[in-house]
Amino acid sequence: MDNYMCVAEMEVQAKSLWDAATRAYYVEGSDDQITLRENRKAYERFYIIPRYLVGIKSVDTSSTLFGKKYSMPIHCSPSALQKLAHPDGEVGTAKACKDMNIIMSVSILSSSSYAEITKGSSLNSTHWVQVYVLSDRSKTLKQIEIAQRYNFEALVVTIDAPVLGYRRSSKHLQLVDKPHVRYAMLNTIENSMDKKDELIYKFLLQFDKKSVSWNDIKWLRSITKMKIIVKGVNSIHDALMAVEVGCDAVWISNHGGRQLDSCPLRYIFCPRLNAL
C-alpha cells in the first residue's frame, strides 16, 4: 500500500491485473454511462472553504450513526463477488473495515459466507447486509434470519434495481470461471450447490418476477428489529415514503451509475433533502 499515492494509482494497478471480463464487470456503468461519468466529475465541483487561525490542536474525523461512533464518515458499500478481484474477497474487506472502525455492507452476491466475513469480529466491527425482496418471501426471510444469527445490525434494502442495468461490455464478455469464486449467500438461500450460472439464473428469476412496493418494506419492518435502510433513493417523494413506512435511514444513491442511466447525482439531490 505504501507504493500508492492515491486511489487513482491503485485503480490503474488493479485494472492491469484483471482479465477483460472482470475489468468490465467492476468498472462499467449502464447504457451510455452518463451517470458514471457525471459521478466522477461531480467531486471536481466541490470546493473547500478554509477557516484559518481558529486554534485547532487536534483533528477529529469521527462520526456517530445509530448511537455508534466510527473513525470517519466513510462506509464500504455492498459490492458483489469480491473474490474476482482478490482471493481474500469480502473477508479482506471486513478486516480492513474492522481495523479502520468503519461500516461494511455485504452484498447478497457475496463470494464469502456471513460466517467467514464476521469471523474475528470485535466491538469495532459493524456489518450491514444487502437485501433484495425476492418473490419467494421465505428466501428473503431466511437471509434475514442468517444475518441476525451473525449479528448484522441493519438491512440495506436495494430499491433501484427492478431490472438489471444494461452493461454493454459485460454482455459480450463471459466472466472467467474461477474455482474460489462462488455465490456463497445464494448457495445458502437456495439450499443448493448448483453451478454459478444456474444459481444466478434462479436468483434473477426471483429478482425480476414480482414488482416490489412500499408494502414490502412495511413487511420487512414487521418481521425484524434490525435497522432498515432503503438504498437507491433519488427523489424527495421516495425519501418521505421511506420515513412514513418506518425506515431508519435513506441511502441516497444512483448505484454508481450501474443501474438506470441519467439518474440524479447526489450532490444535486442531497441539499434539496437537507432543506426539508
**28-74 residue pLDDT tens:** 888 888 888 888 888 788 788 988 998 888 889 999 999 999 999 99
Q: d(Cα 153, Cα 91) in Å, to the nearest integer?
A: 18
Above 60 in pLDDT, residue 246?
Answer: yes
Residue 82 C-alpha from the chain's centroid: 12
pTM of the model: 0.88
Which DSSP string do the residues of 170-188 spell out, in sequence order?
Answer: HHHSPPP--TT---HHHHH
Above 90 in pLDDT, residue 262?
Answer: no
Mean pLDDT (the chain) is 84
Q: What is the DSSP letter of 20?
A: H
Put the strands of the sheet holding 103-106 in their side by side order.
75-76, 103-106, 126-131, 154-158, 227-233, 249-252
Above 60 in pLDDT, residue 153?
Answer: yes
Q: What is the pLDDT of residue 173?
A: 59
Q: What is the pLDDT of residue 75?
A: 92
- Name the CA dihedral angle for 194, 196, 200, 201, rounded to a multiple of 10 degrees: -70
> Average pLDDT, stretch 152-171?
83
Q: What is the pLDDT of residue 115?
A: 92
Q: Is 255 a catalytic residue?
A: yes
Which DSSP string do the residues of 202-223 spell out, in sequence order?
Answer: HHHHHHHHS---HHHHHHHHHH
> Average pLDDT, stretch 131-149?
90
* Cβ–Cβ under 8 Å, residues 254 and 270: no
Alpha helices in the chain (DSSP H): 7-17, 20-27, 34-42, 89-100, 114-118, 137-149, 168-172, 184-189, 196-209, 214-223, 236-244, 266-274
Percentage above 90 pLDDT, the chain: 40
Nearest to 104 by CA among 113, 87, 117: 117
Q: What is the pLDDT of residue 210?
A: 57
Above 80 in pLDDT, residue 92?
Answer: yes
Best-predicted range by mean pLDDT (8-12, 126-130, 190-194): 126-130
Q: What is the pLDDT of residue 171?
A: 65
Sort 95 into a burial class: Cβ within 10 Å, 0-12 / 13-18 / 19+: middle
> Average pLDDT, stretch 82-104?
93
- End-to-end CA, the chain: 42
Least confident of 99-103, 125-129, 254-258: 254-258
Confidence of residue 95 (pLDDT cuts 50, 70, 90): very high
Q: Which of 86, 172, 180, 255 is catalytic?
A: 255
> Average pLDDT, stretch 76-105?
93
* Cβ–Cβ under 8 Å, residues 132 and 158: yes
Strand pairing of 63-65 and 75-76?
unpaired
Which CA distances in Å does 135 have to 106, 162, 202, 204, 224?
21, 12, 11, 10, 18
Instruction: Return the higher-pLDDT residue of 1 and 96.
Output: 96
Q: d(Cα 12, Cα 37) in Å, to the nearest integer?
A: 17
Confidence of residue 205 (pLDDT cuts 50, 70, 90): low
Which CA distances in Å does 52 have to 55, 56, 62, 135?
8, 9, 21, 56
Q: Which residues contact 149 (CB under 8 A, 6 or more apart)?
A: 114
